Structures are given as structure tokens and as C-alpha cells.
Amino acid sequence: MRVLVLYAHPVDTSYCSALHERVVAALREGGHEVDDCDLHAEGFDPVLSRGERLRYHDVPGNMAAVAPYERLKAADALVIVSPVWNFGFPAILKGFFDRVFLPGVSFSLDDGRARGELRNIGRVVMVTSYGGSYFRALLMGDPPRKLVTRMIRGAVRPFARIRYLAHYGMNQSTQASRIAFLRRVEREMRAF
């Protein structure tokens, strides 16, 4: 299976970096072809320019500025590895969704209604960590979980498998809790 791993963290010594390394290694060990997209290492610009917004509905011209990321259309599965900061994704990942999940790429508009176009993607997994607790995220409405389980679900193949793996409470986490979550992620990726 071709798996696009979308990674969004600027620090290579972070816990999120360890999660990313474990995800990529376990998928490769499982025989999957991994397209490892480290948004920071690739210098991805998250800012949607005025010109891009004006060409937003101009299919296929809207893809010109982000053509290297058409690889989303070549993937059978998508794994996103990113922290949750301030109950949202880091700007670089949010910018990826704004700039790459475009009409003609992730959806089409038919009589004003959006229809998912990433039917090549049959599995989506989010691997993340939150500074706050699960209950605090729930109180805030947990926007990142909704983006993955609703917005992305609507863009991919109908009935695609969606998994959301989160380590909550990083601010009070222990080495044991972090190791346990790393092992859980590794098991999930090996069973991919």
C-alpha cells in the first residue's frame, strides 16, 4: 500500500518526532511504500496567498502553486503525525489543508454541494499529542478530531477506515505513558 505520511513538527528532538519515526519505520517494516512528507523539512509555505485564493475554484490551475503535493492523489492511505497546539493544528498543517485540499483535488462542487474526490485513500490515521487532558479537549469541542473524522472523512473513499490516536495530557505525562503510547502507535502501524 502507498502511504503518505504527513508530518508537522519543527523540532527533531520532540516526542512528536519520535512518533513520526516510529510510524515511518513500522509502516516500512510492514512492507508499505511510504511517502514521508515532512512539511518543515520540505519548506512548505502554509500561507494561502491572495492569488491562490482568487484561483481557488480554477481547476486545474488552482494546483500550480502546490503541484508537488499532488502526491496526495497517488496515496492509498494517509497518516498524519502532528501535535495539537491551542486546540488546533500547527499553522503549517492547517495551511496544508487550506492550500492543498482544493477543488479538483480533495473535493468537487456539484450544484454547490461538495463531493469527496480522494477516493484513492481508503485509510486515514491521525497520530497526535495534546498538552491538555481529554476532558479539556472535549470541553473545547476538539476541533482537530472533528477535522480528521468529519472533513477528511468527507474527502476520502466512502467507508474508509479512520483512526484517531491521541496521547492526551502531555503536560503531566510520564515516561511510562509516553512509551506506552509509542508502543500502541507502533502496533497500529504494523497492523496497517
Q: The whole model's pTM is what?
A: 0.95
Identity of the amino acid at 50:
R
Phi, psi of 60 (to 5 degrees): -95, 5
Q: Give the percent of the chain with pLDDT over 70.
A: 100
**What domain range includes position 28?**
2-190
- Identify the H or E element spanning 77: strand 77-84
pLDDT digits (tens, 9 = 90+) for 118-177: 999 999 999 999 999 999 999 999 999 999 999 999 999 999 999 999 999 999 999 999
Task: Return the amino acid letter for 123.
Answer: R
pLDDT at 95: 96
* Phi-psi domain of 43 (left: phi exceeds 0; alpha: psi -120 through 50; beta: other): left
Instruction: Name the amino acid, one letter, at 147.
Output: L
Let me know: does 111 contact 149? Beta carbons within 8 Å.
Answer: no
CATH number at residue 168: 3.40.50.360
| Bridge partners, residue 116, by sequence | 107
Number of structural domains in the chain: 1
Strand partners, 79: 5, 125
